[in-house]
Amino acid sequence: MQRGDLEEFRSLTGPRRRSLRHDKQQWAEGITSSGERHLLCGEIKDAFANFHRLRRNRTNTSTPLMSMDGKLLSDKASVLTKWQEYFSTLLNKSLHTPPPSLCSEAAASTPDPLIDSFPPTLLETHKAANKIKAGKAPGLCGIYPEYILHGGTDALKLLHSIFARVR
């Protein structure tokens, strides 16, 4: 780059930046005034759609990972595939069979008559459902407590039938 070109570049950069800043400010003011007009007319959805346009567009970047063969995975699809493989192997392990000594002990044991092993009644299911507190995180099944609480008698009957099948 020649010296004269660098000086010309520096002399043109300032006005260009000021012009871009001015244009961006006018664009934002136009969107804002349009959003305010929608708010004054009671059009909340349109107003927030306008305000949403003011948010900066963020580029979604993904953190690079190493594959099993040592290659760097930087594109989003391959990183997602890698995480999917990792979690599928982590969470989907095969169940191991119990040791034979434990199986023989379980077969030889006698059930305790004081422990109730019958399925719960519909009344017991109803009492248990009434003890559930709303706003808690779902369990392993992914069912939110609110679903059970607001499901009514149909949900309770369905739960009771599931509990009766589990033995």
Share of the chain above pLDDT 90, in %: 8
Does 27 or 151 have the greater pLDDT score? Answer: 27
pLDDT at 151: 81
Q: Is the pLDDT of residue 1 over 60?
A: no
Q: Tell me the C-alpha distance between 103 and 61, whole Å.
A: 52
Given this model, what pLDDT does residue 63 score?
Answer: 66
CB-neighbour burial class of residue 46 (10 A; exposed 0-12, middle 13-18, buried 19+): middle
Q: What is the CA radius of gyration of the chain?
A: 32
Using the predicted structure, report yes or no on whether residue 33 has a pLDDT greater than 80: yes
Specify the pLDDT at position 123: 92
* Residue 87 clears pLDDT 80, i.e. is over it: no
CA 8/CA 26 separation, integer angstroms:
28
Mean pLDDT of the chain: 82
Task: Answer whether residue 29 shows pLDDT above 80.
Answer: yes
pLDDT tens per residue across span 37-75: 988 888 888 888 888 888 766 666 666 777 778 888 877
Domain boundaries, the chain: 3-53, 61-91, 118-165
Nearest C-alpha neighbor of 39 from the set 22, 56, 51, 27: 51
pLDDT of residue 59: 61
Contact at 8 Å (CB) between 31 and 54?
yes
List, in sequence order, the alpha helices (H) in the chain.
Answer: 3-40, 44-53, 76-91, 100-108, 122-130, 145-150, 152-165
Q: What is the pLDDT of residues 96-133, one digit of tens each?
A: 788 899 989 988 988 888 888 888 899 998 898 888 88
163 class by beta-carbon count within 10 Å (0-12 exposed, 13-18 middle, 19+ buried): middle
Assign 111 to helix, strand or coil: coil
**What are the beta bridge partners of residue 66?**
72
